[in-house]
Amino acid sequence: MLAAAVLWGTVGPAQLWADTGVHPVSLGACRMLLGGLVLSLLTVRPEGLRMLRRPGAGRWVVLSVLVTAAFQVCFLQAVERSGAALATAVAFGTVPVVGGLCARVLRAERPTRRWLLGTVCAVAGIGLLLLPGSGARVDVAGVGFGVVAGASFGIYIAASKELGARGVDLAAAAPVSVLCAGLLVSPYLLAAPEGLSGLATGRSAALIGWLGLGTTALGYLLFTRGVGRLSAATTGTLSLTEPLVATVLGVVVLGERPGAPAAAGAVLLLLGLVLVSLPERHRTVPAAAPPTGPGITAGKR
C-alpha cells in the first residue's frame, strides 16, 4: 500500500518534469491504454470476466469506466494548470468528501462528526485556493479540474464497493475499467494538436512508459496486494503518502512555491483528508467473564 501510494504521488511531478508538450488528455489516454492492457493480461481471468455480467453489475461497470476516464483526463489537466502539489492536494482532499456523500445516498450511512469536520476543512481549503493571488500557477480551471478528478475517484470507489457487494471479481473489474476508459478517450489522440508525432519522441515515450507501467500497472498490483490485508482506516492513512510525495517533489524538484493562501488551502485540504482517514473510536462494553471450573481456565478453553 505504501509503495503504491509513493508511485501514484509521482504522477504529477513526472508529467511536469518531463515537459513533453503532449496534451494531458493524450497522456491520460496512453496511460490508461498501456496500463489497462498490461493489468488485464496479468490479472484478468475468464471467470472474472463472467462475473461482470452478473445481474445489476452492468450499470456499475459502465459508471466505473466513465469516472475512470474523467479522473485521468481531469487530474492531468489540473497538474498542468496548478502544479503537482496543489493539484494532488485538491483531488485527494475531495475524494473522502464525495465518498461520504456516496455512502449516504447508496447505503444510507449517517455521516460522522469527523467526516463533517473533514468536509468543512476541504471546502475551506478549496475556497482559499480560489482567492486572487493564491499562487502563480493556481487558476479556477485548474482547481475545478482537481475537484472533478477527486469526485470521479470517490464515485469510482463507491462503484467498486457496489460491484464487490454483487460478487464481482474486482481484480478483473478494475483493469477492464482502466482499459475501456482508455479506449473511450483514445479518439482524442487523432484530434490532439500535437498529433501522434508528439507521442513518438523519447521523452514522451519514457513518460508514458512510467505512467502506464510504473504508476498504473505496478501501482495497482501493489495496491491490490495490500488492500485486502489492511483495515479501511490503515488504508486511508497510508493513502496520505500520495499527496505528501507529490508536495515534496513539487517543492524540491520542480521548485513550486505557492503563495500563503494557496499553502494554507493545501494544508486545510490535507487536514480534512487526515480527519476522515483516522479510525473512529468506539466505546466497547466489557464482555462477561467466562465460566471457570474443573478443566476450564478463565479466558481459555
Task: Check if the beta carbon of residue 164 is closer than 8 Å to that of residue 107.
Answer: no
Q: How far is CA 23 from the centre of its chain?
A: 21
More confident residue, 34 or 238: 34
Rounded Cα–Cα distance for residues 114 and 91 (Å) = 19
> Which pLDDT does position 289 carry in this prediction?
42
Note whether 118 and 293 are within 8 A (CB): no
Give the whole-number percent of the chain exceeding pLDDT 90.
26
- The residues that bridge with 293 in the sheet, in sequence order, are 296
Helix, strand, coil in percent for the chain, rounding step 5: 75, 0, 25
Whether 197 shows a pLDDT value over 80: the answer reads no
Q: Where are the domains of the chain?
A: 2-277
Segment 226-248, tens digit of pLDDT: 765 765 556 666 777 788 788 88
Using alpha carbons, list the distances in angstroms from residue 223 to 8, 214, 219: 10, 12, 6
Phi, psi of 296 (to 5 degrees): -125, 125
What is the residue-averaged pLDDT of the chain? 81
Q: Is 291 a residue whose pLDDT tops 50?
A: no
The rounded distance, in Å, linking the Cα atoms of 266 and 70 is 22
Residue with cell 508529467: 15
**Cβ–Cβ < 8 Å for 250, 85:** yes
Determine the average pLDDT of the residues in 208-226.
87
200: three-class secondary structure by DSSP: coil
- State the pLDDT at residue 296: 32
CB 78 within 8 A of CB 142: yes
Higher pLDDT, 300 or 241: 241
Q: What digits encode the pLDDT tens for the residues 133-153?
A: 655 555 788 889 999 998 998
Where is pLDDT greater, at 158 or 194? 158
CA proximity to 78, closest of 132, 123, 138, 152? 138
Contact 214/176 with Cβ under 8 angstroms?
no
Q: How confident is the model at residue 299 (pLDDT cuts 50, 70, 90)?
A: very low
Secondary structure letter of residue 259 according to DSSP: -
| 44 vs 135 pLDDT, higher one | 44
